[in-house]
């Protein structure tokens, strides 16, 4: 683990990463930090300027899965798609001060499942991170992983945890098996699945993706493509129906906010729901209210701010955008590597991380791309890289070796 001091001023660097594919907004003092497909930036609500961060400016990777702010210790926790974690120690004004990387989970070879974080919360100085394999906890003052919880589903099975919530020192896990809960911290060994208890979920939610949240000391269950349920007298009551996936749930004390792909919703303390939409909303990922102003993260339009009846785009304007409406010319894979179709030469791909760069081209050892014009890049859930060319689709199935072993033979192949 190497802590990196961060002491750069606004405007002292330039990057070429697209930051319009925004995913999550986190308020930090007067700033709104926003994650995107290829990095992180903030919007300063006082001076209305943006500042961006990526592997060139100190982050371990560009592929951010999730992140959260811990106010008491003034730090941001970033969890990457690969399992890597950065603890960002902030200055008093909310700017970066020091980056402490944690690679424990990424290097854990006993976990074969996806290590991309689904959700992050804090209980005092412990970060609780939800994963497809279970949970992980980090002491954010000691900068160390304290536990990795696997096989905590029913009968000791591995279960995907999509979200966590805490009420009265009880930790609730949202899983496809239903709601699992236990005291946290606990005198019992929570690595043992038998020390977790099941809670009944709405009948309509069986087998679906669920997300439990507490608001006004009440439990709510959000269910993709089904709706929102409120637990009253141990009975689930449906208060909202939807045919879409639910992307963001944000508890702001007196308001509970969430969104789907094209609508934003607010539940007030009287349990009344307000729904709003706008033509600018195309693929919403997050929605918050900050200083009585609405902000949204849209995967196509970027970070946007409500302005009377319109929404203004706030994503950094100094980015050179390699994207167009029909292709992705830059992606981040599950290892945190950045893949970019080389500007000015669409027959080559540049692969880079924080310390290394490799060019894939027509040579047999470095891509075997045969001089084909490359139109698009994609990464699938297994980490395979897919390359769309003028002569069809090719794939690379050993993406990790591209930078882990610069002498490795990398060959794009055409699936049969």
SS3 per-residue string spanning the chain: CCCEECCCCCCCCCCCCCCCCEEEEEEECCEEEEEECCEEEEEECCCCCEEEECHHHCCCCCCEEEEEEECCCCEEEEEECCCCEEEEEECCCCCEEEEEEECCCCCCCCCCCCCCCCEEEEECCEEEEECCCEEEEEECCCCEEEEEEECCCHHHCCCCEEEEEEECCEEEEEECCEEEEEECCCCCCCCCHHHCEEECCCHHHCCCCEEEEEECCEEEEEECCCEEEEEECCEEEEEEECCCCCCEEEECCCEEEEECCCEEEEEECCCCEEEEECCCCCCEEEEEEECCEEEEEECCCEEEEEECCEEEECCCCCCCCCCCCCCCCEEECCCCCEEEECCCCCCCEEEECCCCEEEECCCCCEECCCCCCEEEEEECCCCCEEEEECCEEEEECCCCHHHHCCCCCEECECCC
Q: Is the pLDDT of residue 323 over 50?
A: no
Q: State residue 207's pLDDT score.
A: 86
pLDDT in tens, 84-95: 999 999 999 999
| Sequence-distant (≥ 6) Cβ neighbours of residue 145 within 8 angstroms | 102, 104, 105, 136, 137, 138
Q: State residue 414's pLDDT score.
A: 79
Average pLDDT over residues 133-147: 97
CB 38 within 8 A of CB 134: no
The CA-to-CA distance between both ends of the chain, in Å, stands at: 43
Q: How confident is the model at residue 9 (pLDDT cuts 50, 70, 90)?
A: very low
Average pLDDT, the chain: 89
Q: State residue 17's pLDDT score.
A: 60
pLDDT in tens, 240-276: 999 999 999 999 878 999 999 999 999 999 999 999 9
Q: State residue 23's pLDDT score.
A: 95
Q: State residue 8's pLDDT score.
A: 41
CB 116 within 8 A of CB 105: no
Pick the CATH number of 4-150+247-313 from 2.60.40, 3.40.50, 1.20.140, 2.110.10: 2.110.10
* Angstrom distance (rounded) from CA 371 to CA 398: 21
Instruction: Kindly state the percentage of the chain with pLDDT values over 90.
Output: 66
Higher pLDDT, 33 or 14: 33
Q: How confident is the model at residue 318 (pLDDT cuts 50, 70, 90)?
A: very low
Q: State residue 380's pLDDT score.
A: 79
CB 230 within 8 A of CB 214: no
Q: How confident is the model at residue 317 (pLDDT cuts 50, 70, 90)?
A: low
- This prediction's pTM: 0.77
pLDDT in tens, 337-357: 999 998 888 889 999 987 889
Tell me the domain boundaries of the chain.
4-150+247-313, 330-411
CA 134 distance to own-chain centroid = 16
- Greatest C-alpha distance within the chain: 68
């Amino acid at each position: 683990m190497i802590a990196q001091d961060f002491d750069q001023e606004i405007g002292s660097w330039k990057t070429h990463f697209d930051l319009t594919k925004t995913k999550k907004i986190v308020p930090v003092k007067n700033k709104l930090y926003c994650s995107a497909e290829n990095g992180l930036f903030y919007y300063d609500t006082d001076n209305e300027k943006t500042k961006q961060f990526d592997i060139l400016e100190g982050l371990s990777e560009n592929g951010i899965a999730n992140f959260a702010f811990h106010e008491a210790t003034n730090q941001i926790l970033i969890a990457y798609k690969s399992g890597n974690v950065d603890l960002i120690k902030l200055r008093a004004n909310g700017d970066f001060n020091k980056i402490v990387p944690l690679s424990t989970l990424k290097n854990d070879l006993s976990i074969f499942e996806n290590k991309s974080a689904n959700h992050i919360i804090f209980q005092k100085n412990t970060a609780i991170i939800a994963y497809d394999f279970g949970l992980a906890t980090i002491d954010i003052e000691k900068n160390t992983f304290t536990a990795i919880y696997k096989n905590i589903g029913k009968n000791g099975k591995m279960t995907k945890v999509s979200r966590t919530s805490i009420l009265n020192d009880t930790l609730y896990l949202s899983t496809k098996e239903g709601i699992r809960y236990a005291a946290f911290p606990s005198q019992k060994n929570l690595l043992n699945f038998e020390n977790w208890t099941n809670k009944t979920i709405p009948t309509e939610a069986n087998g679906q993706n669920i997300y439990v949240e507490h608001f006004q000391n009440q439990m709510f269950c959000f269910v993709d493509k089904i709706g929102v349920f409120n637990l009253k007298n141990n009975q689930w009551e449906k208060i909202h129906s939807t045919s879409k996936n639910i992307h963001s749930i944000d508890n702001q004390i007196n308001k509970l906010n969430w969104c789907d792909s094209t609508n934003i919703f607010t539940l007030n303390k009287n349990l009344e729901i307000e729904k709003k939409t706008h033509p600018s909303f195309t693929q919403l990922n997050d929605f918050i209210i900050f200083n009585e102003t609405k902000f949204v993260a849209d995967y196509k339009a970027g970070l946007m701010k409500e302005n009377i009846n319109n929404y203004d785009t706030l994503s950094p304007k100094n980015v050179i955008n390699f994207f167009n409406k029909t292709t992705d010319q830059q992606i981040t894979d599950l290892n945190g590597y950045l893949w970019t179709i080389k500007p000015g030469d669409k027959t080559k791909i540049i692969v880079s991380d924080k310390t290394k760069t490799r060019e894939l081209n027509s040579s047999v050892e470095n891509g075997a791309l045969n001089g084909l014009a490359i139109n698009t890049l994609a990464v699938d859930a297994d980490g395979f890289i897919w390359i769309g060319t003028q002569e069809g689709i090719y794939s690379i199935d050993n993406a990790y070796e591209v930078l882990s072993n610069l002498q490795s033979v990398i060959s794009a192949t055409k699936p049969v």
